[in-house]
Amino acid sequence: MLTFEEPAVSINSITKEFGDHTVLNKLSFDIPRNKITTILGFSGAGKSTLLKLILGLHKPDQGSIEVLGKNLSKFRPIELREFRQNFGMLFQYAALFDSMTAVENVYFPLNEFTSLSMEEMIDKAKKLLISVGIKDISFDRIPSELSGGMRKRVGLARGLALDPLIMLYDEPTTGLDPITTKMVNELIVDTAKKNKDRGMTSIIISHDVKATLRISDYVAFLDRGNIVEYLPVKEFEKSTNPLVQEFINL
Amino acid sequence: MILSKLKKFVEIIGAMTIENIRGIGQIWLFGLRFFYWIVKPPFRFKLLSEQFYFIGNKSLFIITLAGGFTGMVMAYQTYFGFKLINVDSLVGSVVAITLAKELAPVLTGLIVAGRAGAAMAAQIGTMKVTEQVDALEVMGIDSYQYLAVPRIIAATFALPMLSITFLFVGNIGSIVVGTVALLIDETVYMSKLSEFMFIGDVMQGVIKATVFGFIIAVVGTYFGFNVTKGAEGVGKGTNLAVVWGMILVLVVDYFLTSFLVQVL
């Protein structure tokens, strides 16, 4: 298993059960800082549960998770909520607030957590929207007036609003057409490059193997609650693990 | 054979009873969280005013309509009963007291449960299934504080105001029907009204409406937060919010009445 100095996320022997079903079973691995790491796996492998554990939305039944050197289980609920400002997240279907315009969605976290004036917030929101390729004509549109790809861009801009140290992507290309998929993948790489100087880590949950091999630095393969392979992307492609090979060749 | 069917029937009834009691317990615990979060900053006054506008202002038309017609109908029904025993001059006071203590808060509660309670469940439920609630949590915002607290405060304060509006308009309707259509002497009507109607009667209605407002919002938001399974779940949650909101208004009304008649 790969180990890193000062990893962004360190998962130490965690187990998570829902009723009789063990979703994650004594899972341990580290996610490096300032890299794009993708967690691949079949549906039901425990990817989304793992994401929620990293975010501190679920607590592990056993084991511990350290994020940016802090043990999540030692936080009080209010501290954990504050700590989550280190995360940005792009949801599978963007999860934009449907009563707000694109600009309002992006400045929403700024309004909640910073003391910026309204003008400064709007200005920053517009810059973020432009940086993800949204044109000013769409700034005042509500999510239902935006295409799927544009919603993802706005969702990404919102995720980046508080300059997060860890950016999470939950199935970012699920349900998109090939052209939009390519655009979203390019956006992820571009975002990682733009934020490399401040050490932003990107974690992607996906089952899109082609995109994963194209954009990731490291790939972990999750199966039945355990990491069965975890390698730099070039080596992952050549993995001899039969499950990985089956997944790649699907 | 009959015995086993009877046993199964009892088991089903028992399971349903346990499930409903558990459900009420969960709603109660959900409501208790309000008292923790209401004192925690940040205080989102904009959200509160939006909800106040939606629950209060947007319900005014239907409340005014219902209040007016209820007062008019009550005046008619009471008049023809009272005329038989020659106490038709008491129509105004009886209608006013009935409206103040019972009909205004209960009917306002039922109307708001159907209108705003359903909307709360549908709005929050839709946000839940489209991951907007998760987005709030990921940002470090407590979804209960952000979504439930403003709605509960707004409903708790809006309901008594709506109930007083119902009472006022209901009395206008009763006065119009009583003095114009039923030809009760206006002076007698008003003098009997002021003789038998007390501020305690109005207070009873205001207290009831305040409690109903709290219950309706807690139930509406609870079922919104507990929505699962997409659009079907949103529909189910909305339906449950209306049904449970109305049931609780009627049940709590009995217990409140039995308490308030002794203290007011």
A130 token code pair: 């432009």
Cα three-residue angle A136-A142-A148, rounded to 5 degrees: 85
d(CA B210, CA B204): 10
CA dihedral A148, A150, A155, A158 (to 10 degrees): -160
Residues of chain B found within 8 Å of residue A55, distances taken between Cβ atoms: 138
- Write the CA distances from B206 to A138, B72, B171, B209, integer angstroms: 48, 21, 16, 5
Q: Is there a contact between B138 and A97 if contact means CB atoms under 8 Å apart?
A: no
The per-residue pLDDT for range A22-40, each reduced to its tens digit, is: 899 899 999 999 999 999 9
Q: Please tell me the pTM assigned to this model.
A: 0.88
B26 lies in a domain?
no
Q: Is there a contact between B137 and A57 if contact means CB atoms under 8 Å apart?
A: yes
Q: Is there a contact between A91 and B134 if contact means CB atoms under 8 Å apart?
A: yes
Q: Is there a contact between B135 and A97 if contact means CB atoms under 8 Å apart?
A: yes
Residue with tokens 């609650």: A225
Q: How much is the CA Rg of chain A, to the nearest whole Å? A: 18
Nearest-Cα distance to chain A for B3, in Å, is: 34
Residues of chain B found within 8 Å of residue A91, distances taken between Cβ atoms: 131, 134-135
**Per DSSP, what are the bridge partners of residue A18?**
A21
Asked if residue B132 has pLDDT above 90, the reply is yes
Mean pLDDT for B70-91 is 91
B225 lies in a domain?
yes
Domain that holds residue B88: 45-263
Domain count, chain B: 1
Shortest CA distance from B142: residue in chain A = A81
Strands, sheet with A70-71, edge to edge from the N-terminal-most edge strand? A21-31, A9-18, A62-67, A70-71
Written as one letter, the residue type at A91 is F
pLDDT value, residue B110: 97
B229 lies in a domain?
yes
**Coil, strand or helix at A47:** helix
For A93, the closest of B130, B139, B142 (CB atoms) is B130
Q: Which of A91, A104, A105, A107 to mutate to test the interface with B (most CBs of B within 10 A)?
A: A91
Range list of H helices, chain B: 2-37, 45-55, 60-83, 91-98, 104-112, 118-129, 132-138, 143, 149-176, 186-196, 199-225, 230-263
**What pLDDT band is residue A225 in, cutting at 50, 70 and 90?**
confident
pLDDT value, residue A9: 94
**What pLDDT band is residue B262 in, cutting at 50, 70 and 90?**
confident
Residues of chain A found within 8 Å of residue B131, distances taken between Cβ atoms: 91-93, 95
pLDDT value, residue B124: 96
pLDDT value, residue A53: 93
Asked if residue A2 has pLDDT above 80, the reply is no
Percent of chain B with pLDDT over 70: 100
B7 lies in a domain?
no
Asked if residue A20 has pLDDT above 80, the reply is yes
Q: Is there a contact between A87 and B131 if contact means CB atoms under 8 Å apart?
A: no
B2 lies in a domain?
no
pLDDT value, residue B189: 87
Residues of chain A found within 8 Å of residue B134, distances taken between Cβ atoms: 57, 91, 95
pLDDT value, residue A210: 86
The per-residue pLDDT for range A101-141, each reduced to its tens digit, is: 999 999 999 999 999 999 999 999 999 999 888 988 889 99
Q: Are B75 and B95 in contact (CB under 8 A)?
A: yes
The per-residue pLDDT for range B182-223, each reduced to its tens digit, is: 898 889 889 888 888 889 899 999 999 999 999 999 999 999
Q: What is the mean pLDDT of chain B?
A: 93
pLDDT value, residue A224: 86
Mean pLDDT for A85-104 is 93
Nearest-Cα distance to chain A for B149, in Å, is: 16
Q: Which of A81, A115, A144, A169 to mutate to test the interface with B (most CBs of B within 10 A)?
A: A81
The per-residue pLDDT for range A143-194, each reduced to its tens digit, is: 999 988 899 999 999 999 999 999 999 988 887 888 888 888 998 999 999 8
B124 lies in a domain?
yes
pLDDT value, residue B159: 97
Residues of chain A found within 8 Å of residue B132, distances taken between Cβ atoms: 95-98
Beta strands in A4-144 (DSSP E): 9-18, 21-31, 36-41, 62-67, 70-71, 87-90
For B140, the closest of A85, A95, A108 (CB atoms) is A85
B21 lies in a domain?
no
Quick check: ipTM above 0.90?
Answer: no
B170 lies in a domain?
yes
Q: Are B54 and B120 in contact (CB under 8 A)?
A: no
Mean pLDDT for B36-40 is 91
pLDDT value, residue A211: 86
